[in-house]
Chains A and B, each alone.
Chain A
Amino acid sequence: MIPLRSPSRILSILSCLSATVVVLILNSAHGQTVHRSESLGLAPGKVATVRIHGSGLSEAMHLWTPFGELQRAVRDGEGTQSADTKITFTGNIPQTVVPGVWRYRVLNSTSTSSEQKFVVDDLPSHGLADTTEDQRSAPRIPPNVCIDGHLNTAKPRFFRLDLEAGASIAAEVFARRIDSEIDPVLRVLNPDGHEIAYCDDTPGLFGDAQIRVIANEPGPYLLELRDVKHSGGPSHFFHLRVGTFPLIRGTFPRAADTNEVAILGEATDPGTLLRASSGRGFNVAVSAPDAEYSGLTSIYEVEESTFREAEPNDTSASGNTIAPTVRHIAGQFQSPTDVDWYRVSASKGTLVVTALTRELGSPADVVLQLWNDEGKKLFESDDNGNTDAQLVAAVSQPGDYFLSVSELSGQSGIDWTYDLLIDRDGRAEVFTTIDTVLIPKGGTASIPLTVKRIGIKAPLKVNVEGLPDGIRAQPLIISEYQSTAFLTLTAESEIDSFAELSVSCVDTTDNRKTSPIQVTVRRPVDKKSPGPFRCPEIATNLFALTTSPAPFSIRPDSELVKVSLQSTAVIRFTVTTNAAAPSPIEITVADLKNALPPGVSIDKLAITNGTGELTITAAEAARPGVFALNLVGTRKRDKDSETQPVPTIMLEIMNP
């Protein structure tokens, strides 16, 4: 096990680096598409140059990262087509930044690119030569180097390495892990042109590849990097590392709150382990005594303490006993027939066991089964679909149960790890389908939240962290009867701002102590047109940015409205519009499932300018409680219409 330094969370870094709010010059919205980046000097303590390739980039101003912004370096070819597709940023990289995968966005005054990833590396960086596409003219590269580049269709990249006999060299490619379309292959040819090493997929790397070669003879070796099916294009980018560093495939556990993890990879004695948060978890840079540079991996951060599987636990009788306070279990499949057993106490209610494997990089696909003490199988996880397993057990008798964990297809090895989260009193999951929200200045933007409740009927209070000055989140409680709600953010009219947000929910049921529920981003997938590749890891970061002023805004006079059963209440709205000859703005219920609580109705309201009142009626059948009331304002102009969300109003329905 390896001692880690104390964690430094992303928000603390952010708070240091983003202390000064950047004032953006207002400009027309400009769609920015980033294809890839090529970096030089993107290393801790260095001055980095990051070249962005894409489209619509001419107005870009900043390159945002969790560790600070890089500035547009040179207005190279401003106003030309070149500047639209290729721009450069520079800036200092703090010494404290831990090498690994980091996220970035390209910002202009009114919009942001989608989230992208690049690799901060402690290896010296090197530009990609054009001649790498021809095996015969493959350029010689230094013994320790990292290279950003891309692949063209049917064009592998070749690099020449001059090695002494006995030299040991590591090569690793980041592609899938940085959301590249490449399914990479690494291959090494010896001086005679014979293949001596080939790697397509290394377990634990989402399909990326690592390779180590020991030269049997001195001479020029050829390293080939290609896509497994020879595809290429703008979204086929890579970060190649070559040199003396340990090849790391991950950690065990992959999810941890602890300072001690085992390294899955070559670094059996890794020496100093550096760590720093990169967002959803934290990067870990592993150094080794005989290595000049770091091996890179990351750990998913969980709040709970971890119980590690202890073999032998291959039968229910020898199963590991899990204390009632333990929520997180980590294990490994040691052999093809390995079945891990745990004795779990459960009270009456819904026991939920959620596996985390593929999303954390483990190739394992687990099957969860719950047994009683008579050896009868009571519940089993569903193995359909491609999501990680989840076992939901309706427990009628409090007591001890036996949880068995096996690998669906009998795969095993140290990389075949799993992490389990145990919820003994039901579980709620909250997710959103967007990761970026543009808030019009002086207006409102909404983030759709969906709640999946499993054996739980708790109202969830939403908390937002990381809000910059000038942006405010409306209070929101998603009632136990609601499965969807809008989290609304409002921006002041004169402020330009952006920030990465972290949204979580808290169960507000009295006397129930549960961990905060992190809102995750689940981008919708169109199976017919899946869009760019995204590494299937857990995403929790939302990005908020102010944009051009809203055409109109609607503000309620109160964030909380109370109404008794069989009575009515009135909400007063103030509408501000920038139109000279304003059209009426109609306020209606947002297009959301369960947008209005049962038994509650609202009148129609149309406001041209100024104020208006909306009457809410709670019938006898309405349920007392607090609900999120999501309304939207719509202004029709000729054939078009404009909409603006109304800041969320909490509606409290009371007994008379």
Chain B
Amino acid sequence: MLKYWSILALTCPYISASADAADGNSVQTLTVTPDAVSLVGPRSRQQLAVSANSGTAQVVDVTEDATFISADPRIAIVEEGIVKPVGDGRTTVTVRVEDASREIDVSVQGTGQPSPVTFHTEVLSALTKAGCNMGACHGSPSGKGGFRLSLRGYDPPLDLLTLRGEFYGRRGNVLSPEESLLLQKPTMEVAHGGGQRLRKETSTYRILRDWIADGMTIEPDHTPHLDRIEILPAERVFLDRGTRQQLIVMGCFSDGSKRDLTDLTAFDSSDESVATITDSGVVLKEGRGEVTILGRVLDRMATSRFTFLNDRAGFIWPNPRVTNTIDSLVYDKLKQLQILPSQRCTDSDFIRRVTLDLAGRLPTLQELQQFNEDRSADKRSHLIDRLLNSEDYASFWSMKWGDVLRCNSRRLTDSGAHKFRRWLFDAVNRDMPLDQFTHELLTATGSTQFNPAANYWRASRDEIDAVETTAQLFLGIRIQCAKCHNHPFEKWTQDDYYGVAAAFNRVGRKPDDLPDHELIYVRRSGNVKQPRTGEVMQVRLLLQESVTVPDDQDRRRVFADWLTKKTNPFFARSLANRIWGHLMGRGIVEPVDDFRDSNPPSNAALLDYLTNELSDNGFSARHLIRIILNSQAYQRSTQQNEFNADDDRYFSHAATRMLTAEQLLDSVCQLTGVMEEYPGLPSSTRAIDLVDPPKEHRFLQVFGQPQRELPCECERSTDSNLSQALQLINGPVIHDKIRNEQGRLHQWIRDGRSNEEIVRLLYQAGLSRQPNANELQIALKHIASNKDRTQSLEDITWAVVNSKEFLFQH
């Protein structure tokens, strides 16, 4: 146990000491953040956060328990942990908790100077903090109650006009600010559909009141603007005693100054079952786990991460086998969170799982026999390699790409869809590096007849679609919100959105002279305007400056070059996460295409490692898949233990997933030996080979086959429903295949196999294992009790198909 704590202490500077240490609960030293305060102007303030160090490096937040004594109240006072200016000068504040104390310096200046409220930084932040301009209230496109604000203040000129000018200026009463509608409504002095949003004692109220009193002015252009914000502390790990943390949000301005903006910051918790956050920036523990707190001031954001641990009685780290770095990184997290990994899965579980994951089908009886008879230590690795080099792998994984690249005949025509699917198959089969794969798609030109990759630009008909599709597929971000306004929860702005659109708006399309095809080319003119500002946008590379691309060059190429660089902060990361998600049933960031500050990775170090593995190895998907599949993390059992039963994000056990629609249908076909007939396609066609979702295939639709209209994994429904149960229990697909006399079961009967043989074969073919003694006995008893042997064997087949073990990947 002590060993574990010492490891944690090394890795986490704020780690608290063991609760059972002899002096663990007594405060020995205090840390005050910030350790010096500088206040400028009469309305300035500084939130303090006080941490107590107990004997063995334990850190807990004691801001709430601390007493603050100003040495000179004529200079500064402290109220509820907030230092406020009184008069110019220097003083100290003594912070005391139990017997420990700490003194910090405070300097105050400019208290006699006018300090008008700034519209951009303070008024808009106050409105945002109060929730006035959120999407459900006055920030909706049509506003509320005749009062419309831009969503979270993304359009300051519009808001200024609205606040000052609309309704003859009735919203603000400069002579009697407290009687302004802008204050009376949110304080419920006048009826307000949105309820009480402000209280008079809060700084947001004071800011709005003072701004109105000052004449609702706007600050001069040279007023320093907010560059970024910082949240303190940025990260902290708590043990049992750590249940709260006061946050401080510092605004960094364009003149180099820093100011406390904690009271103007809107906070969100990524997981309220772990921790909540108060308006004043206090994180409160709700349960074990990790949580990210997102702070927003206008369009500036920052995050702070917390881990809340409880010592779990009886937990002993078993030092499980490590195959590769993936295991080390998964174990680091599991150890930290005291989650015990499950046992290694059985061989039969493994062959079934890995065959479904790579080839999209069940292992054949022959494969099963070969694998079971293989006594070599690395037989799992051999199986992985064999499957990775199979055409089934290319079929199944090109189907996955086809889903999100919207390979469907409605968009691409029949012929286009077939050719595009084949292009995807070739790319996967050849293990085309993913950077090349993406680059070829994004810069494709020519006839879709000869260059099927150009179908990317048939599926994506305009630059708006292209921005959103490309961002979601290859950057892992959902940037859609920024089309109409700056993203409310993320850093993406309208400038970003339309800057990326500028990379895609010169794609020309014209009919090819061969039927069903189109010619994609690059136009030399055409611009994108930012709809709010009217500015003609240059190509924007996210988190970088815009670039000017000469008219004779393909703007897409500039974007694709940037996107597929090894150093791109999004590309390899999002693809590595996507691949991990497909294999493990959950991304390290989940959903796999929703990277954002407020949706952090469950294991950042692991994601970093996978990202580097992908980019350092020629963007080979096969390489990444191989190392993931060879890891113990992948080969864990789905069986949970008392220490990981509640884990659904740290990969301590394998995830149980229902087979996809295509996997399920193919598995039924494989088990019964009766292929599904798809109109217009050869009888050997499997569901995973379909280039296009069949128009009327009830079974596939019921089990969630995507129609390929969205570039999102989410289009594949994973919900279970009654129709699925009906299909399985008594649907025509299952029924007809089981009863088909050309099927496998009837062939086995014709071959003269015994009941036991057939039952064993059914178990192996469907569940990749032998029946246990009990199962065998029940099955044989059922057969013996029925006059119609064939029917009773069909019953057993039906039971296998309807077993959870068959329906789920495990």
Residues in A lying within 8 Å of B, measured CB to CB:
135, 153-156, 176, 183, 194-195, 198, 200-201, 203, 206-207, 228-231, 358-359, 363, 365, 383-387, 408-411, 530, 533, 536
Q: Which residue of A lies closest to B520 (CB)?
A: A409
CA distance A385 to B513 in the complex (A): 9
Report the minimal beta-carbon distance from A505 to chain B, rounded to whole angstroms: 25
Report the minimal beta-carbon distance from A227 to chain B, rounded to whole angstroms: 9
In the bound complex, do residue B513 and residue A358 qualify as a contact, i.e. CB atoms below 8 Å apart? yes
In the bound complex, do residue B450 and residue A201 qualify as a contact, i.e. CB atoms below 8 Å apart? yes
In the bound complex, do residue B511 and residue A386 qualify as a contact, i.e. CB atoms below 8 Å apart? yes
Known interface pairs A365-B519, A530-B515; 12 further A-B residue pairs with C-beta atoms within 8 A, sorted by A's residue number: A154-B680, A156-B682, A206-B514, A228-B419, A229-B414, A231-B680, A363-B447, A385-B510, A386-B510, A386-B519, A408-B521, A409-B522
Chain B residues near A230: list those with CB within 8 A.
680-682
11 contacts between A and B (CB under 8 A): A207-B449, A207-B514, A228-B418, A229-B691, A230-B680, A358-B513, A365-B519, A386-B511, A408-B521, A409-B445, A410-B445
In the bound complex, do residue A229 and residue B415 qualify as a contact, i.e. CB atoms below 8 Å apart? yes
- Most A-side CB within 10 Å, residue of B417, B510, B514: B514
Q: Which residue of A lies closest to B423 (CB)?
A: A200
Chain B residues near A536: list those with CB within 8 A.
513-514
In the bound complex, do residue B522 and residue A200 qualify as a contact, i.e. CB atoms below 8 Å apart? no
CA distance A410 to B443 in the complex (A): 11
CA distance A135 to B446 in the complex (A): 35
Chain B residues near A410: list those with CB within 8 A.
445-446, 521-522, 554
CA distance A203 to B449 in the complex (A): 10
Chain A residues near B391: list those with CB within 8 A.
194-195
Chain B residues near A365: list those with CB within 8 A.
447, 519, 521
Chain A residues near B520: list those with CB within 8 A.
409
Cβ of B683 within 8 Å of any chain A Cβ, yes or no, is yes
Cβ of B488 within 8 Å of any chain A Cβ, yes or no, is no
Cβ of B653 within 8 Å of any chain A Cβ, yes or no, is no
Cβ of B591 within 8 Å of any chain A Cβ, yes or no, is no
Shortest Cβ-Cβ A-B pairs, 8 listed = A409-B445, A409-B521, A386-B511, A409-B446, A386-B513, A408-B521, A229-B418, A358-B513
Give the contacts of B477-534 with A (CB-CB under 8 A).
508, 510-515, 519-522
Cβ of B739 within 8 Å of any chain A Cβ, yes or no, is no
Chain A residues near B680: list those with CB within 8 A.
153-154, 229-231
Chain B residues near A358: list those with CB within 8 A.
513
In the bound complex, do residue A383 and residue B508 qualify as a contact, i.e. CB atoms below 8 Å apart? yes
Cβ of B422 within 8 Å of any chain A Cβ, yes or no, is yes
Q: Digitize B414-430: 1 where CB-to-A-CB distance is under 8 Å, 0 elsewhere.
A: 11011100100010000
Report the minimal beta-carbon distance from B77 to chain A, rounded to whole angstroms: 71
In the bound complex, do residue A411 and residue B415 qualify as a contact, i.e. CB atoms below 8 Å apart? no
In the bound complex, do residue A200 and residue B445 qualify as a contact, i.e. CB atoms below 8 Å apart? no
Chain B residues near A411: list those with CB within 8 A.
445-446, 450-451
Report the minimal beta-carbon distance from A365 to chain B, rounded to whole angstroms: 6
Report the minimal beta-carbon distance from B780 to chain A, rounded to whole angstroms: 35
In the bound complex, do residue A383 and residue B510 qualify as a contact, i.e. CB atoms below 8 Å apart? yes
Chain A residues near B426: list those with CB within 8 A.
198
In the bound complex, do residue B682 and residue A385 qualify as a contact, i.e. CB atoms below 8 Å apart? no
Known: A358-B513, A365-B519, A383-B521. A154 touches B450 (CB 8 A): no
CA distance A536 to B450 in the complex (A): 16
Report the minimal beta-carbon distance from B443 to chain A, rounded to whole angstroms: 9
Chain A residues near B508: list those with CB within 8 A.
383
Known: A201-B449, A409-B445, A409-B522. A533 touches B682 (CB 8 A): no
Report the minimal beta-carbon distance from A528 to chain B, rounded to whole angstroms: 13
Chain B residues near A384: list those with CB within 8 A.
510
Report the minimal beta-carbon distance from B611 to chain A, rounded to whole angstroms: 31
CA distance A530 to B413 in the complex (A): 15
CA distance A306 to B211 in the complex (A): 81
Chain A residues near B515: list those with CB within 8 A.
530, 533
Report the minimal beta-carbon distance from A359 to chain B, rounded to whole angstroms: 8
Q: Which residue of A lies closest to B692 (CB)?
A: A229
Chain A residues near B450: list those with CB within 8 A.
201, 203, 363, 411
Report the minimal beta-carbon distance from A643 to chain B, rounded to whole angstroms: 35
Q: Digitize B437-458: 1 where CB-to-A-CB distance is under 8 Å, 0 elsewhere.
A: 0000000011101110000000
Q: Which residue of A lies closest to B390 (CB)?
A: A194
CA distance A195 to B430 in the complex (A): 12
Report the minimal beta-carbon distance from B640 to chain A, rounded to whole angstroms: 41
Report the minimal beta-carbon distance from A587 to chain B, rounded to whole angstroms: 42
Report the minimal beta-carbon distance from A377 to chain B, rounded to whole angstroms: 11
Chain B residues near A408: list those with CB within 8 A.
519, 521
Report the minimal beta-carbon distance from B690 to chain A, rounded to whole angstroms: 11
Report the minimal beta-carbon distance from A175 to chain B, rounded to whole angstroms: 12
CA distance A385 to B509 in the complex (A): 10
Chain A residues near B419: list those with CB within 8 A.
200, 228
CA distance A200 to B514 in the complex (A): 14
CA distance A292 to B419 in the complex (A): 34
Chain B residues near A530: list those with CB within 8 A.
515
CA distance A183 to B419 in the complex (A): 11
In the bound complex, do residue B511 and residue A154 qualify as a contact, i.e. CB atoms below 8 Å apart? no
CA distance A206 to B680 in the complex (A): 24
Report the minimal beta-carbon distance from B167 to chain A, rounded to whole angstroms: 51
- Most B-side CB within 10 Å, residue of A195, A363, A385, A409: A409
Chain B residues near A183: list those with CB within 8 A.
415
CA distance A530 to B521 in the complex (A): 25
CA distance A386 to B554 in the complex (A): 22
CA distance A369 to B521 in the complex (A): 17
CA distance A383 to B510 in the complex (A): 8
Q: Which residue of B lies closest to A336 (CB)?
A: B445
CA distance A410 to B447 in the complex (A): 11
In the bound complex, do residue A228 and residue B415 qualify as a contact, i.e. CB atoms below 8 Å apart? yes
CA distance A236 to B445 in the complex (A): 30
Q: Which residue of A lies closest to B425 (CB)?
A: A198
Q: Digitize B682-722: 1 where CB-to-A-CB distance is under 8 Å, 0 elsewhere.
A: 11100000010000000000000000000000000000000
CA distance A206 to B451 in the complex (A): 14
Report the minimal beta-carbon distance from A241 to chain B, rounded to whole angstroms: 22
Chain A residues near B514: list those with CB within 8 A.
176, 206-207, 536
CA distance A408 to B511 in the complex (A): 13
Q: Which residue of B lies closest to A195 (CB)?
A: B391
CA distance A410 to B810 in the complex (A): 49
Q: Which residue of B lies closest to A183 (CB)?
A: B415
- Most B-side CB within 10 Å, residue of A155, A201, A358, A359: A201
Report the minimal beta-carbon distance from A413 to chain B, rounded to whole angstroms: 10
Q: Which residue of B lies closest to A357 (CB)?
A: B513
Q: Which residue of A lies closest to B554 (CB)?
A: A410
